[in-house]
Amino acid sequence: MIRVEPVTLEFNGIRLEPLAPHHADGLRAAACDGQLWKLRVTSVPEPDDVEAYIGRALEMPDRLAFAVVDVSTDAVIGTTSYHDILPQVDRVEVGWTWYAKSRQRSHVNTSCKLLLLSHAFDTLGCLVVGLRTDVFNHASQAAIERLGAKKDGIIRHHALRRDGTVRDTVLYSILRGEWPATKSQLHYRLSLHGHD
């Protein structure tokens, strides 16, 4: 049975450290880079709501939230989480992920996913890692599919969006047996960015 505990992970110029109140200013700056809270299909907080956003993340019993930090500048450039942690079936999900607009479509997401997936499969012993996104978040779906995750299906009428509409949620997963090929693909993608 897996045990998910706070941990700091570092790779390829990116550090994931347990999210804490002192990350608020950095997270606010990351959200302002592209005014990401205006996107209806993401969970990015408005600048005035960052402290409450961190508080809610820390209160969720089955979530371990991380600040994404650029090692070279110590700047917070986003956040990601393990969530819906199910020790009894050795499963976690990776989500609540967003990055400053200037860091999107860079090596950052691939590096973060390598850190989280490696820790989940190689250290924690997970048998499956899930990912999910809004049915209208096509950029997120494409990013998840580039990881090599398989689409499990769509849960209709599943969760509230910030604008009060109800979203359909697309579910993906990576099984333990698929991890070696996925890991190789992620390293290959990083080599194309000139990192790794």
| Blockwise average pLDDT, block size 10, the chain, 196 residues | 97 97 96 77 85 96 97 96 98 94 84 97 98 92 91 96 92 97 92 71
The pLDDT value recorded for residue 76 is 97
The pLDDT value recorded for residue 41 is 65
The pLDDT value recorded for residue 163 is 86
Question: Which residue(s) pair with 174 in the sheet?
Answer: 129
The pLDDT value recorded for residue 96 is 93
- Rounded distance between C-alpha atoms, residue 24 and residue 69, angstroms: 12
What the block records as the tokens of 55 is 């508080």
What the block records as the tokens of 84 is 């819906």
Kindly list the strands in the beta sheet with 9-11, ordered across the sheet, starting from the edge strand earlier in the chain.
Answer: 9-11, 14-18, 63-70, 75-86, 91-99, 128-134, 166-175, 150-160
- Rounded distance between C-alpha atoms, residue 89 and residue 86, angstroms: 6
Question: pLDDT tens digits for 12-32?
Answer: 999 999 999 999 999 999 999
The pLDDT value recorded for residue 77 is 95
Closest CA to 2 of 91, 129, 66: 91
Q: Could you tell me whether strands 91-99 and 128-134 are parallel, antiparallel, or unpaired per DSSP bridges?
A: parallel
Helix residue spans in 9-136 (DSSP H): 24-32, 50-59, 107-118
- Rounded distance between C-alpha atoms, residue 77 and residue 33, angstroms: 9
- Rounded distance between C-alpha atoms, residue 61 and residue 140, angstroms: 25
- Rounded distance between C-alpha atoms, residue 154 and residue 138, angstroms: 14
